[in-house]
């Protein structure tokens, strides 16, 4: 690869530079003769080839530490005709179609990918662990507290557990506690299907749970604990996604908040959830 970009057509070079900027400041543009690539310092590379009305994206991704294992070829076709923000469409395709594949080989690869939205938002999370199990944490001391309160707009705690018992089988748990209901809905929606069938909510559950379930169709509500706070879980059919609703009723007033969690989820789902969290 070369830093000489002079052979790339001007319109394609402009598109690829704008795509790199959409991804974040760490991505740069390099070239193989007249073919541009968007490149991340950790080694992720995506080739961009322009055709009439669309671009073709191609990456060759390591799926094993064994050097004799062939690279996996991943491609995506992105239509650009008639769209006012073509660079954003290309960047979104790279995020959804390519980045999760870059993170599937093992814990190290997943850590590189899952850290991207946190780095882009300048969240000072800390990663520690081994090549089989690694944690990413932010504000660790507040993760499990039920008494701590946050100011509007204040960044909530985060914990990610990445596991890879064998190559190519990498999964993640994500815990996002102490969320406002508005943020919980926005973050959860990033990993829900676009079309969901509403699930009836048992009538004995609090009105606040009914309201939350109406905003997150497709999740099944289940009572957990009657206490202060009262806990109710809303879970998807796969069992990977759970939203825990907290309801505290005291003489001083009523307060609701939520925790969003993923369990044993694919890297792609964890990446989407962390991207929504980092955007808050």
- Give the total residue count for the chain: 280
| Whether pLDDT at 1 is above 70 | no
| Whether pLDDT at 253 is above 80 | no
For 60-78, the pLDDT digits (tens) are 998 888 878 899 999 999 9
| Whether pLDDT at 226 is above 90 | no
Half-sphere exposure (Cβ direction) of 243: Cα atoms closer than 13 Å:
32
- Mean pLDDT for the stretch of residues 89-118: 94
Beta-carbon contacts of residue 278 (< 8 Å; ≥ 6 apart): 117, 118, 120, 121, 123
| Whether pLDDT at 112 is above 90 | yes
Q: What is the pLDDT of residue 195?
A: 67
Task: Starting at the earlier edge strand, list the strands of the sheet with 72-79.
Answer: 28-32, 35-39, 45-51, 54-61, 72-79
Q: What is the pLDDT of residue 143?
A: 83
3 state DSSP class of 36 = strand
Tell me the pLDDT of the chain averaged across its residues. Answer: 91
For 76-87, the pLDDT digits (tens) are 999 988 888 999
Beta-carbon contacts of residue 254 (< 8 Å; ≥ 6 apart): 208, 247, 248
Chain-centre distance for alpha carbon 16: 23
Residue among 247, 248, 249, 224 nearest 234 (CA): 224
Instruction: Let me know: does 115 contact 136? Beta carbons within 8 Å.
Output: yes
Instruction: Let me know: does 103 contact 117? Beta carbons within 8 Å.
Output: no
d(CA 213, CA 125): 31
What's the token pair of residue 148? Answer: 């701590």
């Amino acid at each position: 690869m070369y830093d000489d970009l002079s052979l790339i057509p001007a319109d394609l070079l402009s598109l690829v530079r704008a795509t790199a900027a959409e991804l974040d400041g760490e991505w740069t543009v390099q070239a193989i003769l007249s073919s541009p690539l968007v490149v991340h310092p950790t080694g992720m590379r995506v080739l961009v080839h322009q055709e009439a009305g669309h671009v073709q994206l191609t990456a060759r991704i390591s799926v094993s530490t064994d050097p004799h294992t062939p690279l996996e070829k991943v491609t995506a076709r992105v239509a650009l005709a008639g769209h006012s923000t073509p660079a954003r469409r290309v960047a979104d395709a790279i995020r959804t179609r390519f980045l999760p594949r870059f993170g599937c080989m093992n814990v190290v690869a997943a850590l590189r990918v899952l850290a991207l939205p946190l780095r882009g938002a300048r969240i000072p999370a800390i990663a520690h662990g081994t090549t089989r199990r690694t944690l990413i944490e932010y504000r660790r001391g507040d993760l499990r507290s039920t008494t701590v309160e946050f100011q509007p707009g204040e960044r909530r705690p985060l914990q990610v557990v990445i596991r890879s018992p064998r190559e190519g089988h990498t999964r993640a748990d994500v815990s996002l506690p102490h969320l406002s209901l508005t943020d919980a809905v926005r973050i959860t929606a990033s990993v829900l299907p676009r079309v969901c069938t509403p699930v009836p909510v048992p009538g004995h559950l609090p009105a606040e749970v009914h309201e939350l379930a109406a905003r997150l169709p497709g999740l099944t509500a289940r009572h957990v604990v009657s206490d202060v706070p009262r806990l109710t879980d809303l879970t998807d059919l796969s069992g990977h996604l759970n939203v825990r609703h907290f309801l505290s009723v005291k003489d001083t007033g009523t307060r609701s908040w939520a925790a969003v969690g993923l369990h044993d989820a694919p890297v792609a789902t964890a990446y989407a959830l962390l991207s929504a969290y980092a955007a808050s």
